[in-house]
Chain A
């Protein structure tokens, strides 16, 4: 099967405008603007079954249909913050297949009537932002961005906006605050961005990978897209595979591929031939899945992974083998979330602080099983009380690590 998203692996020069055009580039956007009404584009995306690839898995077409049509202008924001530990897929799309992503931004913008779109990149993607600026300029020159496109009244500009090192800005309302020139702290929701977004205007925020699907869906039809993947999760997904595997990397595969296929067929198996002990399917925010034969043969789609007590999220699969102790792993995740907590809400700010002190004490001499209980207790106390998902995420590895791998915490 040929690639849907990582098409540069089939067509090496697809990052050149002429090559992208030779392969049907911008035809989908042109078709949308000249032959389709905005709501027809939304309906096609709804029918395709495309769900948000940033982690939440929310149906994309439905997200667009919530946009408030009584309040104008509208904005589209592409979430290129890609900061979840274990996730490195959006980067490859933007670096190697930039026009397909930007065409996706354009299609989403047309569908919701936005005349301006922002691509929010994490600050570390400084070089990618410069590169995208060049690609945007090329598109303007070629007449696929700018004023009165394809002889219609529709105009669109795309701008990049660079963050400066803050995981929390991947949360959509924190991202909007950041573009507005404020600290990236999440807003209380509702109202949701579709009603009150950037500059208080209706806004759609979509992940890079989500957007990169759009040109292919419009070109090949919703039915084609639906035919890939599983009934629950249509289409293809880029799995970022990392950790103790022989061949870490991005693998574009249909939903429904099993963990075993990903880790062994594509990832070349575990380093030193060790067995898989635990899997984090959604980066550092994940629950741990206890790996056994049945789990390895489980299909990866949103609904099925949930039956294992975890979320597929952004499909950033971190593989942990039996040489690694989970108390070491949660030490890493706790320090990560402590560092990235924005400090706005008390449960997350204080909770991550205390979890860090407890895990540090656990690793110092003289830890007791009471400390483990206390750590578990703090994590549980935080759950369902935080303002945004970051705080909730910070507890997942702690709770499931201690509960599912008690032997790694001196509890058998």
Chain B
């Protein structure tokens, strides 16, 4: 079903932000809406957005490809994106990442066998004073976790696993 049919209020609100003759501007917020619906952005969703905005599906695809927070493939349910950029790395982010990898038994970029967590290394998230830190991207949006330890992180992952089982 198209986004406009399923979320008429949200789509209308998004379109109202931009001048009517420039509705292409709504492509980014609509992609977020599609991603929260499916967990990733499908070909059908791109076509739907292209139709709504009267642009080509190639134009929509180019946006998905350019920006790192849009995903055209399903990975883990939660993308755990650890900042390993310079300021965080000066405060131990690389070692933190290594311990996470060994605790989870996966490498950077991989997903845990149960499909729960995809571990990714990302650039600065504007939280350099609170390293080690990461954000978790899921269908519900994005959340920051700061001043983290490996223990706290493993507890969080357990909690997420628990929620996941409950809702399954």
Contacts and interface: CB of A to CB of B under 8 A. Distances in A.
Nearest to B141: A126
Chain A facing B: main interface SS: mixed
Given A161-B17, A248-B128, A336-B123, A180 B91 contact: no
Interface in B101-138: 123-129, 135
Contacts of B123: 83, 85, 167, 336, 339-340
B139 interface: no
A243 B25 contact: no
Interface string B65-91: 011111000000000000001110111
A184 B66 contact: yes
A164 B142 contact: no
A124 interface: yes
A180 to B, nearest CB: 6
Contacts of A148: none
Nearest to A397: B86
Contacts of A289: none
B28 A164 contact: yes
Interface residues of A, number: 50
B148 interface: no
A362 interface: no
Task: Give the residue among B26, B55, B129 with the most A Cβ atoms within 10 A.
Answer: B129
B86 A178 contact: no
Given A162-B29, A166-B67, A166-B68, 14 more contacts: A87-B126, A125-B126, A127-B142, A165-B68, A167-B123, A182-B62, A242-B91, A242-B128, A243-B91, A248-B129, A284-B85, A284-B86, A332-B85, A332-B86
Interface of A: 82-88, 90-91, 122-127, 159, 161-167, 178-184, 199, 240-244, 248-250, 284, 318, 320, 324, 329, 332-333, 336, 339-340, 342
22 contacts: A82-B126, A83-B123, A83-B126, A88-B128, A88-B129, A159-B17, A161-B25, A162-B28, A162-B32, A165-B68, A166-B67, A181-B28, A182-B59, A241-B129, A248-B87, A248-B129, A284-B124, A318-B86, A320-B90, A329-B86, A333-B86, A340-B123
